[in-house]
Structure 1
Amino acid sequence: MPHTKDDLPDALYSAAQVRALDASLIAAGTPGFELMQRAARATWRALVRHWPTANELTVVAGRGNNAGDGYLVAVLARRAGWHVRVLAAGDPQHLQGDAALAHAEAVSDGVAVQAWGPQSELRGVVLDALLGIGLTGEVREPYASAITAINASGLPVAAVDIPSGLSADTGRVLGVAIRADLTVTFIGLKLGLFTGDAADVVGELVFNDLQASAETFSGVAVSACRLSAGNLPRLASRAPTSHKGKFGHVLLIGGDRGLGGAILLSAQSALRSGAGMVSVATRSEHVPAALARLPEVMVLGVSSANQLMGLLQKVSVLVVGPGLGQTSWGRSLLSAAANAPLRQVWDADALNVLAEGQVSLPKDCVITPHPGEAARLLGISTAEVQADRPAAAHALSKKYTAVVILKGAGSLVASPDGRLAVCHQGHPAMAAAGLGDVLAGLVGALLAQGMGAFDAACLAVWLHANAGAQVGKSGRGLAASDLIPAIRQLLEEQAPCLK
């Protein structure tokens, strides 16, 4: 059954898990060559749908099963009357098993097969059948040169299973990767198609399970779950007799001098996302602006942690960090929060202070680092975090016994119990200041309304990303506060306040 990007399965797998699924299919009685033929037919159908007026195909093939898929697509294209050539970057003499059978079928069908070289000419639609999901190290020659030439050609490009050079497990580009307009992937969705560098290289994603039955998947573990409208945790509807006391009291702590806007964005987000009551503890000089902007929020000007103590006994959830700064003022407030027996969300400078080891994270918390903050928390480089985002998310969750939202392209939500969720929605217009503050307030509001930490993080990330995708349609210049009305609307659509 084919799927488009709006209708994909939820389960995501590693390369090893997909190979196990493939082996399970074969063990259940489907010959490997039949699976290869199904993959080729799925690729051909997707290619024709994507480029209905095309009539020329250049397949650039490697020397594994990915190449076998490519040779069989070439056969289908030639039979349909297209002009077809295969440029072999991997010597066909080294092909084995089903891939060798596919090459033999292409040759017997009259497909022209030529060796790839620096002077090779690319024409029509280019089909990337070079490397597949088995790649782990940096792309080597002659594949690196072939990928570079394909990317420089300006021609439409389709990738078989995964853009060559993209890690199926991490979403990292391994030196160089095909920039596809269309990727057709098979059997199980690969985690690496949804995080890291994937958004830059995958293009439109089409999935085909190659007729795998439910039994095929029953014995194979899942690496992660893709967040979608159909599998999100939901807030319960509200009884007609509801009152503000039933939906929590969020206290947001932050907004040092010069940073007052951050805590107000978080507070506005918490207010508009359904928290029963919202309070802000910030610098005294920010109180007038806060009251003018958010009259529904209770605002306390504090100069020391002692002034927080009474309020900490009245609230149910803390959001700490937006605009907190790293001066003695912010550190003292963070220390007071860390000792409070409350559910908490730590963001921004709260995470930077946490990384120094001067404060401990309470239990049942959510932390929301971007890659730079994640690197400081783990004591590694940002590049190392980005090289394997799923591993970094799991490591953070284990180290701090917290639910982790690792922000960035393909945001990840990791739980200490090993669960991992991926959100691949969003928009490049979201590359703007303040969006993390909005997310932190949203998580706090969902916690206050009774959601568990992992569920609240998953729902918040999905709402935030999809609101950004919606508002981002207007293009550059997106302001963080623009997301808040869209989040409110999406939350109502996803979980109506009334039955």
Structure 2
Amino acid sequence: MQAIPHGLGATNTVLVEAGPRLPLFDGCATRRLEKDWQAALPAHTLMARAGLAAARLALALRPHAQRIWVACGPGNNGGDGLEAALHLARWGKAVHLTWLGTPERTPPDSHRSWAQLEAWRTATGTTALQWAEAPPERFDLCIDALLGIGAQRPPEGRAAAWIGHINSGREAGATVLSLDLPSGLFAGSGVAHDCHVQATDTLSLLTLKPGLFTHQGRDACGRIWLDDLGTDSQTPEGKGVPTAWLNPAPANTVQAHASHKGSRGDVVVVGGAPGMTGAAWLASMAALHHGAGRVHTVLLDAADTGAPAFHPLQPELMTAELAGQDLARPRSAVVCGCGGGRAVQTVLTRVLADSARLVLDADALNALAGDSRTAPAWRRQLAQRHAAGRSTVLTPHPLEAARLLGSDTAHVQAHRMSSAQKLAETYRCTVVLKGSGTVIAAAGRTPHINPTGNARLATAGTGDVLAGLIGAELAGGHSDFEAACRAVYHHGHAAGPLDDDGPALTASVLARGG
């Protein structure tokens, strides 16, 4: 992680980038941790550090800002903003300060920040800091200290009006630095109210929050920074239990020189019913290019399609009939469902019974969620696989997850982590809930949220590619949770940087490594 320029003095503020395994704390967990630190440190220490960190980062982002607006809410997020405004004014910056709070009703920490600011203004007679009832007409830097982790209901009144003005300024080229979270974004879920700040940068204070990295969070936050407020070198009892972890970059797997194709694992892809053979080929290509020693493609109802006996552009892939495959080989994995259509239901019983390691995707998931007479038996087979210690990974997108849970997509998206966890516990599998900030969950494990990937993955077939990558990781000997975490990270990383003017990323290119 990259620190902000040292010319502004010692700082704990770092730019959060994909790679490290970092703990994430939702709003409740953050408040518990904050309370522990407040008990361990002198009064007002955390808010004083937060305001200083915000002011330093603001100047690092926009060192020549001439018109600075600090928009403060009535709670402690607003107190952080008051502290930042005081520092900026002391450093000679002209600050336009608006506050939704009042001295009589603000929390004790924020009241102390207000009192310090007023005392300095009175003692110096400064005009650099201007209290105002309304936002400035124009600004080139705004510190959003309206709501932070306190966004429990949709912003309204002056708060909503100010958020609209902040976003208008951003569209005109202003830098918008949100403190803790863009106002209107939920810390735990990444759900954003219709009225929310679109930040260029977000400074998360004390902890990183899951909502920064999943669902609508990544679009709302811009670049994400963390300042631990000087707590990293100090350890009060417990230090908090993370709500989730940021999925880390996988360690490289070193292959022995004496490796051969059999020792690198086999992947069997079962899918590709008539009209959908491309999905099976994409999963197969991805498994091959991700390191599987051999890949066999079983096209369902192949006799009805006139499909060729091999892929003309990828002759390394072998076609096969399911009856001839030994799915229980120790170093093999089955990927079932990609383009499977209804035909997948004819093979699902055997695949669940025999596969040593298994990825269920697309139409295999729809079969599990269906109301056919055999669906309850398939779900019992999943429980039996878990009891036998055999790996299974489910890879639903939100609509498939909703079907599996008997819910709806809106509910799944509003509760991504808990939905993934419920799926994992219900079906006794590792679950990869796809989407912005993919969630990887397993029973008894703290979920991971993946930081890689972008809108370039929003094309047909990229989910089939992910299924193939997970299959290759399973065949390579990784556990189901580890295989899912590794594959999801690689899948997102292969998308490369988001460039709206660049060529579209097709799934076949992604299958070959991006």
Q: How does 1:90-239 map to 2 (within 5 A)?
A: 90-110=101-121, 111-116=129-134, 121-153=137-169, 154=171, 155-212=174-231, 213-216=233-236, 218-229=238-249, 232=250, 234-235=252-253, 237-239=254-256
Letter in 2 for 1:294: Q
Q: 1:89 aligned to 2:104?
A: no
Please name the residue that 1:254 is paired with: 271
Moved more, 282-291 or 186-195: 282-291
Q: Give the residue type in structure 2 aligned to 1:114.
A: A
5+ residue gaps, structure 2, are 1-11, 122-128
Partner of 1:344: 358
Aligned AA for 1:265?
L
Give distance in 2, aligned partners of 1:471 and 1:270.
Answer: 24
Is the Cα contact below 8 Å between 1:427 and 1:472 reproduced in 2? Answer: no
Q: Indicate yes or no: 2:294 matched with 1:308.
A: no
Shift of 1:177: 1.2
C-alpha displacement of 1:8: 6.4
Task: Tell me the residue number matched to 1:369.
Answer: 396
Would the alpha carbon gap of residues 159 and 405 (structure 1) be closer, same or farther in structure 2, given more than 3 Å must change? Answer: same
> For the structure 1 residues 472 and 157, does the alpha-carbon distance in structure 2 shift closer, same or farther, using more than 3 Å as the test?
closer
TM-score, normalising length: structure 2: 0.87
Matches within 5 A, 1:272-421: 272-282=289-299, 283-284=302-303, 285=305, 287-288=307-308, 290-300=310-320, 308=323, 310-312=325-327, 316-326=332-342, 329-357=343-371, 358=375, 359-360=378-379, 361=382, 362-363=385-386, 364-421=391-448
- Compute the displacement of 1:220 (Å): 1.2
Structure 1 residues 224, 354: CA separation in 2 closer, same or farther (over 3 Å shift)? same
Q: What is the distance in 2 between the residues matched to 1:217 and 1:289?
A: 63
Distance in 2 (alpha carbons) for counterparts of 1:378 and 1:347? 15
Does the residue aligned with 1:312 lie in a helix, a strand or coil? coil
Cα distance in 1, alignment partners of residues 499 and 431 from structure 2 = 25
CA drift at 1:216 = 3.6
Q: How does 1:472-491 map to 2 (within 5 A)?
A: 475-486=502-513
- From the superposition, tell whether residues 73 and 436 of structure 1 become closer, same or farther in structure 2 (CA, over 3 Å): same
1:13–1:188 Cα contact (<8 Å) kept: yes
Name 2:4's counterpart in structure 1.
Answer: none
Whether 2:472 is the aligned partner of 1:468: answer no
Distance (whole Å) between structure 2 residues aligned to residue 436 and residue 345 of structure 1: 12
| 1:435 is aligned to 2:462 | yes
Instruction: Report the more deviating stretch, 454-463 or 330-339.
Output: 330-339
1:476: how far off?
4.2
CA 163–354 in structure 1, closer or farther in 2 if over 3 Å, else same? same
Cα distance in 1, alignment partners of residues 78 and 354 from structure 2: 59
Q: How far apart, in 1, do the equivalents of 2:156 and 2:488 lie?
A: 37
TM-score, normalised on structure 1?
Answer: 0.90
Query: Secondary structure of 1:268's match?
Result: helix
SS across alignment from 1:142 = helix
Q: 1:313 to 1:388 in 2, by over 3 A?
A: closer
Unaligned segments of structure 1, at least 5 residues: 488-499
Judge conservation of contact 1:331–1:353 (CA < 8 Å) in 2: yes
* 1:472 Cα deviation after fit: 5.9
Partner residue in 2 for 1:80: 91
Q: Secondary structure at the match of 1:291?
A: coil
Select between 354-363 and 194-203 the one with higher mean Cα deviation: 354-363
CA 275–403 in structure 1, closer or farther in 2 if over 3 Å, else same: same
Report the counterpart of residue 46 of structure 1 in structure 2: 57
Q: Percent identity?
A: 34
Q: CA deviation at 1:238?
A: 1.9
Partner SS, residue 158 of structure 1: strand
Paired residue for 2:33?
Answer: 21
Residue 293 and residue 128 in structure 1: after superposition, are their counterparts in 2 closer, same or farther (change >3 A)? same
- What letter is aligned with 1:206? W
Q: State whether structure 2 residue 12 is matched by structure 1 residue 11.
A: no
Aligned mates of 1:220, 1:417 — CA distance in 2: 18
Q: Which amino acid aligns with 2:319?
A: V
Instruction: Report the residue type matching 1:113 in the other structure.
Output: W
The amino acid of 1:372's aligned partner reads L
Report the Cα offset of residue 349 of structure 1: 1.0
Per-residue deviation at 1:473? 8.0
Counterparts of 1:9 and 1:261, CA distance in 2 = 35
Aligned residues: 474
Cα shift at 1:309:
5.8
Q: Distance in 2 between matches of 1:26 and 1:173?
A: 29
